[in-house]
Chain A
Amino acid sequence: MVWTRDEMAARAAKELRDGYYVNLGVGIPTQVANLIPDGMRVMLHSENGMLGMGPFPYEGEADADLINAGKQTITELTQTSYFSSADSFGMIRGGHINLSILGGMQVSQAGDLANWMVPGKMIKGMGGAMDLVAGVRRVVVVMEHCEKSGAPKFRRECVLPLTGKGVVDLLITDLAVFEIDKRGGAATLIELAPGVTLEALKSKTEAEFAIASSLAMP
């Protein structure tokens, strides 16, 4: 059994802590916004210049001046603040954002991340991804373990151009969770999806990794 996209989002939501300021990327990470536990104070940051992102507006109430970084219409909360892009990325670069959860194309065992360009294809640009991974204190990547072709995405080295070097703290895939010591340049398997054997995981992983002692291997 592999983890579904909802289960991957739920696992990512376990990284939330009371009082955190959090930036969520597009795709599975966006779902984490719906999974903030009751009673936990989490402020969502949108890098185009907003803290305290609210839900989508009701039909007929969308405001063209109020969008998130994915350019979707959203709403404000009573505690919301707005600011310039320079202030917004000052929050990111200055280490004031506690947690960033984002998608990836490839991750290396040393915590390198590639998620912005594929050579030969149209480059759309990195947007704020390079700033987020370089500046946010804890970076969590959520991605499928393999490409549709079956090629492993968790690798010794990224083949695709990097978004950041030594930036990923935690990798959540549909098969497993790895903690990455980005200073030490080493990854450790800390969780396996139910029914996924270590052999099966290794056959789909190019990266080398240690196995946490907490993981009781059958």
Chain B
Amino acid sequence: MNSKIYSSAALALSGEVRDGMTIMSGGFGLCGVPSDLIMALKASGAKDLTVIGNNVGCDDHGMWHVLANNQIRKVLASYVGENKILESRYMSGEIEIEFNPQGTLAERIRAGGAGIPAFYTRTGYGTKVAEGKETRQFPGQDGVPEWYVMETGLTADIAFVKAWKADAEGNLIYRKTARNFNPMMATAGKLVIAEVEEIVEIGELAADAIHTPGIFVDRIVLGSGYSKHIERLTTRPRAVAAAAGEQF
């Protein structure tokens, strides 16, 4: 019987990656990043990749490994700070970066997955982001005509998704802010591979609580030895916070 479950990220990706492909990868900073799949992408050695994601990893983490291995030609992202290799390759012209406003990037992926070739947004009108793009007036939030920019939907050859739990059908549930770009990317890849922390029995996930229905997910991999990284650990000491009653 056909099963979506693969025993490792390497097997799930085996024979699927070719030079020049477009890869989407979920995550915001280091949160909700499919790290095993990214390491399998590095091991594939495929070159000239176009990578779509909010960030491109950061020093020593996530997609940074694929970048450091000279496999990426172009990046679509909204923020690429804290990444020295990307900085130097961008400044030297070795890598092309297409900066997208974060919401425009999210909506382009959502649209791509939903079969919508293009949409209009007010975001970026009158800025570099709108250069060379069609603009058009529509009624704005308060009914007065405003200028909008046409943005196109995005799809990928392969989409990497990081979820918390999956069942064998491929139904997915995400955890807290690790959801971010993952649900949209799950709809926008020709091949969608979900890396999860736990694979549960069918029926264990409440049908009403499923975030990504299994129809979108082709392959499932149980992530190995989860060590989640924190980019900026911020805490408050107990006594002081209680005394001051601070919110932050």
Contacts and interface: CB of A to CB of B under 8 A. Distances in A.
A185 interface: no
10 contacts: A47-B102, A48-B31, A71-B232, A73-B230, A82-B179, A83-B179, A84-B181, A125-B78, A125-B80, A162-B127
A125 B100 CA distance: 8
Nearest to B121: A93
Contacts of B99: 123, 125-126
Contacts of A21: none
Q: Which of A31, A58, A70, A131 has the most CB of B within 10 A?
A: A131
A147 B188 CA distance: 44
Interface of B: 28-32, 54, 77-81, 87, 90-91, 97, 99, 101-107, 109-110, 121-129, 141, 144, 164, 174-184, 211, 228-238, 241, 246-248
A73 B125 contact: no
Given A122-B91, A130-B127, A59 B238 contact: yes
Contacts of A62: 230, 233-235
A125 B83 CA distance: 12
Contacts of A84: 106, 179-184, 211
A122 B80 CA distance: 10
Interface in A122-142: 122-131, 134-135, 137
A70 B233 CA distance: 11
Given A59-B238, A71-B232, A84-B106, A34 B248 contact: yes
B153 to A, nearest CB: 12
Given A55-B241, A161-B127, A93 B180 contact: no
A130 B105 CA distance: 12
Q: Which of A64, A124, A137 has the most CB of B within 10 A?
A: A64
B96 to A, nearest CB: 12
Interface stretch (A148-156, A163-171, A191-199): A163-171
